Amino acid sequence: MSEQKNDLDDLRREIDEIDDRLQDLLILRTDVVQRIAAFKRGAGGGAMRPEREANILRRLIGRHRGPFPAVVVGRIWREIIAALTHTQAPFAVALHSLHRPLDHFDLARNHFGASRIDIYDTPGQALRAIAEGAGQVVGVLPLPAGDDEVWWPLLAATDAARPRIVARLPFARDAQAPVEGVVVAPFEPGASGDDAAYLIIVTGDGTEISRGRLTDRLAAAGLIGQCIDSRQRGGDVLHLFEIDGALEDHDPRLKTLLANHGEEILQAIVAGGYARPIEVRHY
């Protein structure tokens, strides 16, 4: 019995030593992040980089092994990433969800950790908070064209600092994820290497053009995707497309699309994009 207790004490000491090394590495990682933050301030870069965060999680979950759940690895690193982003530039989260607010609150909390979460009654209020937040507010809203209320037409603006979709949640997902959502922020998302984009196509109310025909027009310009929703806005019709790959405001394919089909397509507005989420096991 005494020998077994000694063995158990040795194993517990080993765990304590591992915990100390983990904490030391976390302190070291924080120091490196602070140096990166100083470099970004000099170069004018932002603290939040959703594409970089996605690639960190892809790499770590891809190399994971053993019985410890991969989805928990993702949650641990999301907490680390969010906390260290706060050390560079504090931010708050503007949350709106009409029908499943508790589920979307959990979605925001799991992604942004201990960040302050402010709940807004309407998507317009949340987007206004993001636009007026001077880069210190990001949003979490339900998936565009999902089962929740329709809010994506509010992204059909053209000013450079407008809110855009920059991530899709949850990123490391399993079969138990109850809802999906998106992160909205006042900057363009970067390319992670495996991405999708949201594109709003505006047609005139009197223009008779089907979704299939619009899809063909986009494909001819090199924009491969599908229309996932269409909504009337005044005298125009807005069509939300999900496009394969990353897409920027000045993508030459958009210029080609408008040049070739300007009589049918009034505007092509990039509403953002996201790194494609990854599927992981829970237990």
Q: Please tell me whether residues 184 and 92 are part of one structural domain.
A: yes
CATH classification at residue 170 = 3.40.190
Rounded-to-10 torsion of CA 30, 57, 281, 244: 160
Q: For residue 64, tell me if it sits in a domain.
A: no
Residue 67 lies in a domain: no
- Answer whether residue 79 is part of any domain: no
pLDDT digits (tens, 9 = 90+) for 156-204: 988 877 899 999 999 998 877 789 999 999 999 999 999 999 999 999 8
Same domain for 161 and 102? yes
Return the residue matching tokens 């994009």: 273
Does some domain include residue 96?
A: yes
pLDDT band at residue 110 using 50, 70 and 90 as cut-offs: very high
Q: Is the whole model's pTM more than 0.75, yes or no?
A: yes
Pair (91, 183) in one structural domain: yes
- 106 and 181 inside one domain: yes
Q: Is residue 199 part of a domain?
A: yes
Task: State the total domains in the chain.
Answer: 3
Cα-Cα-Cα-Cα torsion 38, 40, 43, 44, nearest 10 degrees, comes to -120
Domain that holds residue 114: 84-190
Place of tokens 């949350």: 95
108 shares its domain with 159:
yes
Two tokens at 76? 């641990």
Is 150 inside any structural domain?
Answer: yes
Is pLDDT above 80 for 85?
Answer: yes
- pLDDT of 256 strictly over 90: yes
